[in-house]
Structure 1
Amino acid sequence: MTDPRMRLPSMDVQAPIREVLVMEDRAQITRAARLSLPAGRQRLSVAGVTPLCADTTLRCRVRPLEGPRQAVRVLDVRLERRYRLRPARPEAEREIRRNLERLKDEYLAAFDGAMAQARELSLVRQAAEDLGRQVGLRVAAGAFDAGVDQALERLWSRRRELEEALLSAQFEQEDRRLAIRRLQEELRLALAPLSEYSACLVAELSADGAAETEVEWQYQVPCALWRPEYTAELVEGQPPAVRWQAAGRVWQRTGEDWNGVRLRFSTARPSQGAELPLLSDDVLRTRQKSEEERRIIQVESRDEAIAQTGTASPAERDTPPGLYDGGEERVFAVPAPVSVPSDGRPHRFEYDRFEAAAELELACCAELSPFVFLKSLQTNMSALPLLAGPVLLLRGGGTVGRSRIGYVAPSERFALSWGSEDDMVVIREREHETEETAIRHEQVHTFRTRIYLANHAAARRSLRLVERVPVSELKEVAVQIQRDQTAPGFALDDQGLCSWTVELAPGEERRLSLQFEVRHPARVRWNS
């Protein structure tokens, strides 16, 4: 029995790719075509589609255009895949074999020439050594011939020529060897049959009357992804500013070339919800503390990151937290049509830029690094957030390095480091002493930090020096700064960051000190 779909009027349609939405691990493709549909049922076919298309994501939509509006319905949409075994190519095999024989002859000729030059070079070197030895003997005997200099010069000149010729011959040999390897791979592919996969989109439509319509297909494909990257340029004028460029780097090997498409980037990740979470019982047990656990308090030191949050709108700030907070999809559009070939290579496309005023300061955290860094603080002036990603830093017309940023909301302030100042010297020393008081048997830990600063620049420098002081979470553990042993002018915040603003004249040196004590009773065990 004949399939009734085969009797439908068929129409081959050219539906180029109009828009691509690249997500974190795949891409959504949109194809569109303007058609004049007659009345009745029609079968539309779009060739040149990648067979990687996910069938469950295939959608077809029809929009009527000018003229009388007629009802057009989509009856069916599907993807038809085809497989074809391409036979070997005997004509290509003969051509490749001819080129292969020619290259082998050229390789052997280059090899023979290189061997002859190597032998001649060895003889010239031996002759130069013998002549030099004879010259030494004659000079020692007091008999020197002026013509010997010319003979030595000729030998050394010939030696240089042979060395250059031998090096060129070796390079030529390597080029021929690589070309032979490429032709051997082409010959292997020409002799072996190749499997070719192709696919086409098929849509069945029904129109009540003749109509001008636009048919649009949407589907998702794997083997495509994007990642954000940024370029920041520091303008050291009055006032200083930072020029910011946001771009997306795209990789795709879908089998379709995206030519002249509207490209958009999305933070959506459809595969993230493909699997249900694994649930298991979380068994809680209670027990009584031992006598030692009730008597002794265990305390340990840990490093905590200081949390920073972006600025929220008043409406968001007054709304209680919801289930989907933080999961909103973000879309970034490239302003002009672009082309992305299916080659698996990275391609960069800019989608946003802005310029923001910057606050510059020299900062040093000697505990982490013995360098003074130029730091800038600026605001995200874009209406779009900045996603976490690498940043290329430009300063003074050149590249100074690479950095990274985390998520930055619109209107949020964020910091960048622009490299170290080589004319500033920082040396840090740390001492730790422990003693026990005689009466109360308290453990007293004394920490002394000494920092040496020197300005070797020709200009006056102002820098911000930061040190850390522990923050206690227990009333049994007390932390106190010894102000009489600490350099004056420091500021201490709630996070335990102690900072000084230091002014250094050209060639000036400065020494700063910080001393603090950590006290706790004997029943507290501190793993410092």
Structure 2
Amino acid sequence: MRRLLPLLFLPAPVFADTIVAPSTVTAVTIYPQGAEVTREVQFSAPAGRHDLRIADLPASTVPDLIRLASEETALGSFTFQEAGLIPVDPPAMPDLDAAISAAQATRDAAALARDRIAARIEAAEAQVGFLRGMTAEVTSQPPAEIAALSQMIGSEVLAAREAMLTARAEQAAADRVLAEADTALAEALAAREEVRAAQADKAQLTVAITQAADGAGRLTLRHFVEDAAWRPVYDATLIRSPAPALTLNRGALISQFSGEDWRGVALTLSTARPSDQAAPSLLWPELRRAELPEPERAYKSGAMEDMAVAAAPVAEVETAVPAMQGDVVVYQVPAAVDLATGVADLRVALGDLSFTPEIEARAVPRADSTAFVMATFTNGAEILLPGEVVLLRDGTLVGRSALELTPARGEIELAFGAIDGLKLTRDMPQNSQGDAGFLSSDTARSEAALLRVENLTEEAWPLHVIDQIPYSEQDELAITYSATPAPTETDPDGARGLLGWRFDLAPGAVQEIALTVQLRWPEGMELR
């Protein structure tokens, strides 16, 4: 629903005149979702109170986040008019008005020239008709006079016909000139209508101002638009020798659909997230009741389809320089940037970060047939936003991954592809179930597995083998296990039931791990 939204109420000037002034976007700060736009408004006004109308704001302007500032002019109340409403006063378009006037004058001159040619043709046709209608009294005039009259009529008819032919030849050229003038005038009128139609999709702000003296004034307007965003992209390059090194090449993909082009603006990317949750969640007392169970209901899951919008990226601009605003990292692009509305994925380089990672070959024989390279490192002083990561190991593309939101000095773990020469197997030579004893009411289950890692590469690898055993939270279900060799870690990071072994595996070497699990539960109960 369209509305006129007053944002601030102050005494309004009486009999104030209205000044319409355009605005120029000078700076934009883009967040992961949304952008703050800074505009400069320059105008000229006599001393006294006036209404300053800024009629070129994008339709996506958020009214509550409008902020105004001026050093020369006193600012009063202001109102915001949403897009789609007819402006109170049409915007001035002096360039287009001048182009339309020139095109109209050219068209009028061409029409006049064509009409003059048409008049010449009409006059020649009338002269020929008159001459052809002349007759002579043969009986009363001497033959010499009749011959002279006949010669005169012939000459005049010939001259009139030649003038007619010349005029008709000029008429074709005049018609072309007139047609071109009509086209130019129609294009100029269409351009003005296009601007007017675009203006109907613009929002406008009317500000009560007071000028202390005659002269120029300037106002700074800051507002927020939601249809803009940036997201990080990363290239992670891992080098294992002669010393482990990891380089994170960072970039930002910027998109904006505000409805206006940003040309030559100072661009800043901020890691702040004003569109996200700004306050901690609230917890409320939880009332629980015990009731009879309800009958189960059938549930049918619906299919979901992934949809992606492809956009051609544009050329990458200069590397942005990081800075801090409190505890928020911002990246300032050193050169002015052009970013048209509707353009997706303008790429800005954010520079490289270097780390010294810890590298291991992680093996999960229960699920995989090969081990994978894992690199673990600690982030620096800058927050890393979530984004897609392209993975390169020793100069070779090995896959893609995703980086989660990582605070400063947070730990990061990235996988860098499979190691085909580290072969994994997990065999189960024993898997029996039965009564624990002849007279016992207990039942039991025993499982045995043999984990095997073989290094077929020509280098030693630090191995991290992971397997799992079931765990129980019931006193009635007892679970015990034995492993040879014994695991070096159990329940890592609180993940119950996980076991880990760490060791170095030389080229050509084989490491086996024997794992046995026993489960016991009372008679009459089922294992689930």
Same fold (TM over 0.5): yes
Q: CA deviation at 1:481?
A: 1.6
Deviation per residue, 1:391-441 (Å, 9 max, x gap): 221222342211123232211222111111112211223464322222442
Q: CA deviation at 1:372?
A: 0.7
| Matched position secondary structure for 2:420 | coil
**Who is 1:413 aligned against?**
411
Query: 1:498–1:271: structure 2 CA closer, same or farther, 3 Å change rule?
Result: closer
**Who is 2:348 aligned against?**
349
2:458 maps to 1:463: no
Aligned equivalents of 2:339, 2:287: Cα separation in 1? 53
Percent identity over the alignment? 21
2:487–2:501 contact (8 Å) kept in structure 1: yes
2:271–2:385 contact (8 Å) kept in structure 1: no
Q: CA deviation at 1:283?
A: 7.0
Aligned equivalents of 1:78, 1:32: Cα separation in 2? 17
Aligned equivalents of 2:349, 2:465: Cα separation in 1? 37
Q: CA deviation at 1:232?
A: 1.6
Aligned equivalents of 2:291, 2:80: Cα separation in 1? 62
Letter in 1 for 2:388: P
1:268–1:330 contact (8 Å) kept in structure 2: no
Letter in 2 for 1:341: A
Aligned length: 368
Query: 1:496–1:29: structure 2 CA closer, same or farther, 3 Å change rule?
Result: same
**Who is 1:391 aligned against?**
389
Task: Choose from 69, 72, 75 the match for 2:74.
Answer: 72
Aligned equivalents of 2:224, 2:509: Cα separation in 1? 64
Query: 1:526–1:226: structure 2 CA closer, same or farther, 3 Å change rule?
Result: farther
Query: 1:440–1:410: structure 2 CA closer, same or farther, 3 Å change rule?
Result: farther
Task: Choose from 40, 47, 60 the match for 2:48.
Answer: 40
Deviation per residue, 1:144-180 (Å, 9 max, x gap): xxxxxxxxxxxxxxxxxxxxxxxxxxxxxxxxxxxxx
Query: 1:256–1:355: structure 2 CA closer, same or farther, 3 Å change rule?
Result: same
- Residues 183-198 of structure 1: matches in 2 within 5 Å? 196=198, 197-198=200-201
**Who is 1:360 aligned against?**
359
Letter in 2 for 1:343: G
1:61–1:74 contact (8 Å) kept in structure 2: no
- Residues 184-333 of structure 1: matches in 2 within 5 Å? 196=198, 197-199=200-202, 200-209=204-213, 214-259=218-263, 260-268=265-273, 270=275, 284-286=288-290, 332-333=330-331
Q: CA deviation at 1:288?
A: 9.7
RMSD of aligned alpha carbons:
4.0
Show structure 2 runs of 5+ residues with no match. Answer: 1-11, 88-189, 294-325
Aligned equivalents of 1:6, 1:397: Cα separation in 2? 73
Deviation per residue, 1:478-515 (Å, 9 max, x gap): 22223xxx332532324433222344443334433211
Query: 1:343–1:288: structure 2 CA closer, same or farther, 3 Å change rule?
Result: closer
Q: CA deviation at 1:245?
A: 3.4
**Who is 1:18 aligned against?**
27
Show structure 1 runs of 5+ residues with no match. Answer: 65-70, 85-189, 290-327
Q: CA deviation at 1:467?
A: 0.9
Deviation per residue, 1:261-318 (Å, 9 max, x gap): 3222355354879xx99x99987433699xxxxxxxxxxxxxxxxxxxxxxxxxxxxx
- Residues 100-139 of structure 1: matches in 2 within 5 Å? none
1:362–1:464 contact (8 Å) kept in structure 2: yes
Q: CA deviation at 1:47?
A: 5.3
Letter in 1 for 2:369: P
Aligned equivalents of 2:370, 2:258: Cα separation in 1? 47
**Who is 1:448 aligned against?**
448
- Residues 41-56 of structure 1: matches in 2 within 5 Å? 41-46=49-54, 48-56=56-64
**Who is 1:8 aligned against?**
17
| Matched position secondary structure for 1:16 | strand
2:502 maps to 1:501: yes
Query: 1:267–1:433: structure 2 CA closer, same or farther, 3 Å change rule?
Result: farther
| Matched position secondary structure for 2:385 | coil
Letter in 2 for 1:426: L
Deviation per residue, 1:329-373 (Å, 9 max, x gap): 956434434332212422233446421211111111122322211
2:36 maps to 1:28: yes
Aligned equivalents of 2:451, 2:80: Cα separation in 1? 72
Q: CA deviation at 1:377?
A: 0.9
| Matched position secondary structure for 2:344 | coil
Aligned equivalents of 1:37, 1:12: Cα separation in 2? 11
**Who is 1:122 aligned against?**
none
Aligned equivalents of 1:214, 1:367: Cα separation in 2? 70
Deviation per residue, 1:229-287 (Å, 9 max, x gap): 322221334431222234432222222222333222355354879xx99x999874336
Aligned equivalents of 1:339, 1:504: Cα separation in 2? 55
1:60–1:215 contact (8 Å) kept in structure 2: yes
